[in-house]
A and B are shown apart, each in its own frame.
Chain A
Amino acid sequence: MKKLSRVLLSSMLAVGGLLSNAAVSQVNAQEEYDLVVWEDVNKGIGIAAAVEKFEAEHGVNILVVEKAYAQQLEDLRLDGPAGSGPDVFTMPADQIGTAVVEGLVKEVNADDAVKASFTEASIQSQTVDGKLYGLPKSVETQILFYNKDLIAEEDLPDTLEGWYELSQNNTSDSFAFLALFDQLYYTMGVIGGYGGYIFNQDENGNYLPEEIGLNNAGAIEAVDYVSKFYTEKLFPDGIIGEQGINVLEALFVEGRVQAVISGPWNLEPFTSAGLNYGVKELPLLPNGEHMQSVAGVKSYNISSYTKNPELAEAFLLFITNEENSLVRYEETLEVPAVLALSEHPTVVENDAAEAIALQSEHAKLVPGIVQMNEVWNSMDPALQIVMNGQATAQEALDIAVQQIISTNQALQ
């Protein structure tokens, strides 16, 4: 009995030692590399050639790890201080306000020529309080996907009103047009086109979190207009809420909808589903304006925990230059943020890229300040309530704006 317990005890100690060894070795393995780069899942191929060139030119070793880009900031919070974090990583630009407040990203020194090489909206998305915190990688915005088997390109209405009319022919299981207008991400396009805005800006372009334009006359008119689709049952109730996006995409893939508003993340999946689809810019609003759809910018940023800040910065400037952005586009089909490339033949000849580029001209950035979090948290439920028919646009938006202001004040 005593011998057995001694054997057990010593083997437990050995296992414990091995386990702690494994954790330490992960950190050690990263120390063999000069730079650790976190890239988006399945997009590592886009920078593989650039990484090799950089390694050869500077005589360094770079490790590229793929992680979901929307969660990289969250992982950085834990891995950074522990020493197993990246030097360069990628994230959606709307997380930059949070990242700067927490001190997770390092300022980037780029001269004016470099800044001017990107589209204005994309470089603005990386600027907080006048300082640059990263460089843009790709731009995206919502576009109209239509099923070529159900509707021909010539028959596509140019206006939202046109889709409204087509929807009058809806049956209980086939629809002309669907969009997730109960989510601010999609409805912002309509609100913006009618004169609504999220945060007002002062002369220097700084956002004023106390001045919110989500319940002004334009915004209310916009929300009233889109709620028609729901109250007149042209959109089924099943696409409201958290699971709505799954239902919408399933309906489109099954060929029960002629057109949907969605984003470039669906280009691949719809193709793999074997759907014969086309893309186009978003339809015009009844007042003749383009939809000011939300512009999504993805960026490369430098972690503030990096041990090689100069090398990381050099790498950042290198992979976002025109040449490497073009190669990246060819491999990943993500529309680059470099201004000169939006007219490049390779980009223009791809329908999707062209649609995205055209719609991006009217797309608006979401403010990158921390107070934006509360906007999503309050506006989405409010829009849902309006689309459910449980409140009018005026009521719901007034309460939502009040909630945004008071919660942001409470959090200061």
Chain B
Amino acid sequence: MKDKQAPISAVLSLIPGLGQLFNRQYIKGFVIFSLFTAFMLVFSDFFQAGMWGFVTLGTEVPRDNSIFLLSEGLVALIIISIGLVFYSLNIRDAYVNGQRLSQGKQVNSIRGTYHAILNEGYPYLLTGPAFFVLLFSVVFPILFTISLAFTNYDLYHSAPANLADWVGLETFKKIFSVDIWRNTFVNVLGWTVVWTLVASTLQVSVGILLAIIVNQKKLKAKKFIRTIFMLPWAVPGFVTILIFGGLFNDSFGAINNQILASVGIGPISWMTDPNWTRIALLLIQTWLGFPYIFLVTTGTLQSIPDELYEASVMDGASAWQKFKQITLPIILYSMTPIIITQYTFNFNNFNIIYLFNGGGPAVLGSNAGGTDILVSWIYKLTMQNSQYALAAALTILLSVFVIFIALWQFRRSNSFKEVQ
């Protein structure tokens, strides 16, 4: 009888609270039972409606709004999962306490349970509300986007006159089977990859290089120089990019009219030739992005002990060898996470692409502009073409790509391995 205490109370807890009663935790069992009954009473209608709506996405216009039903279904799913989590906790609690009884130990009285919750459960109590908010403000939108990608929601399937349906992987297939989407996707993805690699590498290299130069012992006015270099970061990027858009204007911008003209170079079609627009974007991003790297590198450099350099000088190291063997490895080791985040930031750098020239100039045979990256193309698909499901599908592809690359790089880099 005693050996079976745990499994029996676990099975009994399939009806929440009974297991606890069997374990002689009467008040606790009663409380759990009433909580679960209240939960089911309050939410059962909502669950039924939510699940029906989620599965069918509506059957009748104009009564049913497919997207509202999808959202309500997701909320119902989230609440059901919360319920399931507590349900399994309840079963586990019954099992564990059953085991304690089998081993001849005392189970907690209600006061004991109360104290146990406050002591061991304290971290959960503290993070609980924040986690709850996170569930609805972060998890819910992500689930919503993922769900949208498996529907056919667009202008022709919009409420209140139309219903949307589940179409499985068809939207993903469309990206590759419909000519215009496939061409655009390949072109945009190609440019996005090139943009990410070149822009991030440029801004990181310039930042590190300048930090090393400014950190030289014999350089005067270090603080002043560092302040100047921080300025591009200080002014809001939004404003800067808009102003650069004006500066680079083909006919009236200062770059063509004042700067290039004074050295005798003819006007360059910055905004009307896609390749020149790309070059302009790379230059601007370098300008905007290097101060942050500069700052972090300066901090890292100042933490390198001087003894390393003195020892290397005694061994006859040249300046280049000092840089390559001491400075660079230490910088890269401590800054790898930051450098990786620069790459992921630029992959999704919507602001600069959209604000500079609207992702343009236009190119033939492509739904997107000549400098559109994936995220700005997704924005245009949503706002201009009302292709919501397609945009969601692309977002998922984009996210998978970024998460994969970031995870792979984090694992590869030494900085995340345990310190030996």
* Distance between Cα atoms of A410 and B183 in the complex (Å): 14
| Stretch from B96-104, B267-275, B398-406 at the A interface | B267-275
- Say whether B251 contacts A236, CB under 8 Å: yes
Complex partner residue of A240 from B245, B272, B367, CB under 8 angstroms: B272
Interface residues on A, range: 35 or more
Expressed in whole angstroms, the minimum distance between the Cβ of B127 and any Cβ of chain A is: 14
Complex partner residue of B158 from A102, A236, A304, A388, CB under 8 angstroms: A102
Give chain B's interface secondary structure class.
Answer: loop
**Interface-central residue, A77, A239, A381, A406, by most chain B CB under 10 Å:** A381
Q: What 0/1 readout, one digit per residue, does chain A (374-412) give for beta carbons within 8 Å of chain B?
A: 100100111011001011000110010001001100111
Give chain A's interface secondary structure class.
Answer: helix
Interface size, chain B (Cβ < 8 Å): 42
In the complex, the chain B residue whose C-beta lies closest to that of A395 is B364
- Chain B residues lying within 8 Å of A395, measured Cβ to Cβ, are 364
Complex partner residue of B161 from A103, A242, A396, CB under 8 angstroms: A103
- Chain B residues lying within 8 Å of A385, measured Cβ to Cβ, are 361-364
For window 140-197 of A, CB contacts with B under 8 Å fall at none
Complex partner residue of A102 from B160, B181, B269, B360, CB under 8 angstroms: B160
- Say whether B367 contacts A407, CB under 8 Å: yes
For window 183-198 of B, CB contacts with A under 8 Å fall at none
Expressed in whole angstroms, the minimum distance between the Cβ of A344 and any Cβ of chain B is: 39
- Chain B residues lying within 8 Å of A391, measured Cβ to Cβ, are 364
| Stretch from B61-69, B75-83, B201-209, B313-321 at the A interface | B61-69
In the complex, the chain B residue whose C-beta lies closest to that of A81 is B65
Expressed in whole angstroms, the minimum distance between the Cβ of A231 and any Cβ of chain B is: 12
- Chain B residues lying within 8 Å of A396, measured Cβ to Cβ, are 364
- Say whether B367 contacts A247, CB under 8 Å: no
| Stretch from B2-10, B48-56, B172-180, B223-231 at the A interface | B172-180
- Say whether B159 contacts A102, CB under 8 Å: yes
- The verdict on B385 contacting chain A, using a C-beta distance below 8 Å, is yes
- Say whether B251 contacts A237, CB under 8 Å: yes
- Chain B residues lying within 8 Å of A269, measured Cβ to Cβ, are none
Complex partner residue of B357 from A242, A247, A305, A382, CB under 8 angstroms: A242
- Chain A residues lying within 8 Å of B162, measured Cβ to Cβ, are 101-103
* Distance between Cα atoms of A374 and B180 in the complex (Å): 12
For window 213-228 of B, CB contacts with A under 8 Å fall at none
Complex partner residue of B249 from A98, A238, A399, CB under 8 angstroms: A238
Per CB-CB distance, the 8 closest pairs between chain A and chain B, nearest first, are A103-B161, A381-B362, A238-B251, A236-B251, A237-B250, A242-B358, A102-B158, A103-B160
A–B Cβ pairs within 8 angstroms, 26 of them: A77-B158, A80-B160, A81-B159, A98-B386, A101-B162, A102-B158, A103-B160, A237-B251, A240-B250, A241-B271, A241-B357, A242-B358, A242-B360, A243-B245, A247-B249, A247-B251, A304-B160, A384-B360, A385-B361, A388-B269, A406-B180, A407-B180, A410-B178, A411-B156, A411-B387, A412-B156
